[in-house]
C-alpha cells in the first residue's frame, strides 16, 4: 500500500495561497483520473480518498490540521495500515528552486519548510517528497509570503504541462 500526502492549511482563508499550491494540482487530478471522493475521517484527522494505481491501493491523504501538525495525521494512517516509510510521498511547496520547477526527492532536508521539519522530527527522514517552487519575494517575511494568494499572472503561468509533469513523476515513483 502507498500513501500520498498533500501538505496544506485546510481553511477557506488559505485557498489559493502559495502554501496550498498542491490543491490546484489535486483539482487537476480529480478532473483527469478516477479515485474516490475525499471523505472526512476524524479518527485520522484527515480527508481521505483511495486510488487503485498499478494494481495497488494508494491512500490519498489531506490532513485537516495546520500544516505544521500534519505529522499527527500521517502517523495515525501509517500505524493503522502498516505503511512503510519508503512507500510515502509527501507533496509540498518549496522556495529554493527555479520558477514552477518540480522536484522529486528521497530523504532530503526540510530547508525552511516547518511542515516537513515537523514530519521529520516524528518519522525520521525516510519518506519521499515532491515539491514545487513557489518563488520568494524577500520583501516579505517567509510566513507572510507563503500564506499570500497567487496573483492572476502567477496562476496563468501554472499550466497543465506542469501538472502533467507531476503526474508523470507520481506514476514513476509509486
Listed by start position, the domains of the chain span 2-173
Q: Quickly count: other Cβ atoms within 10 Å of residue 17's Cβ.
A: 19
* Active site annotation includes 19: yes
pLDDT band per the 50, 70, 90 thresholds, residue 173: low
pLDDT (tens digit per residue) in 3-45: 989 888 788 888 888 777 777 777 666 666 667 778 999 999 9
Position with higher pLDDT, 89 vs 160: 89
For 75, the grid coordinates are 502517523
Worst-scoring range by mean pLDDT, 19-33, 82-96, 136-150?
Answer: 19-33
In the chain, the percentage of residues whose pLDDT exceeds 90 is 18
Question: Helix 22-32 and helix 160-173: axis angle, to 10°?
Answer: 80
Tell me what the mean pLDDT of segment 130-156 comes to. 77
pLDDT band per the 50, 70, 90 thresholds, residue 78: very high
- The reported pLDDT for the residue numbered 30 is 66
Q: Average per-residue pLDDT in the chain?
A: 80
Catalytic residue, candidates 3, 5, 9, 19: 19
Tell me what the mean pLDDT of segment 62-72 comes to. 89
Position with higher pLDDT, 72 vs 11: 72
- Of 87, 86, 107, 108, nearest to 97 by C-alpha is 108
- Which of 3.30.420.40, 3.40.50.1470, 3.40.47.10, 1.10.287.40 would CATH assign to domain 2-173? 3.40.50.1470
Amino acid at each position: 500500500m502507498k500513501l500520498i500526502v498533500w501538505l496544506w492549511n485546510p481553511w477557506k482563508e488559505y485557498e489559493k495561497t502559495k502554501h496550498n499550491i498542491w490543491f490546484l494540482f489535486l483539482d487537476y487530478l480529480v478532473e483527469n483520473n478516477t479515485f474516490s471522493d475525499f471523505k472526512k475521517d476524524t479518527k485520522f484527522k484527515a480527508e481521505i480518498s483511495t486510488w487503485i494505481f498499478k494494481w495497488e491501493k494508494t491512500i490519498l491523504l489531506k490532513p485537516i490540521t495546520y500544516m505544521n501538525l500534519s505529522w499527527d495525521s500521517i502517523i495515525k494512517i501509517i500505524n493503522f495500515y502498516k505503511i512503510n516509510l519508503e512507500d510515502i510521498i509527501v507533496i509540498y511547496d518549496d522556495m529554493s528552486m527555479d520558477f514552477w520547477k518540480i522536484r522529486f526527492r528521497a530523504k532530503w532536508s526540510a530547508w525552511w519548510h516547518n511542515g516537513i521539519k515537523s514530519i521529520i522530527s516524528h518519522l525520521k527522514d525516510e519518506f519521499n517528497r515532491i515539491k514545487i517552487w513557489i518563488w520568494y519575494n524577500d520583501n516579505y517575511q517567509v510566513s507572510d509570503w507563503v500564506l499570500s494568494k497567487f496573483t492572476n499572472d502567477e496562476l496563468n503561468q501554472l499550466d497543465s504541462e506542469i501538472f502533467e509533469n507531476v503526474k508523470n513523476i507520481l506514476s514513476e515513483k509509486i
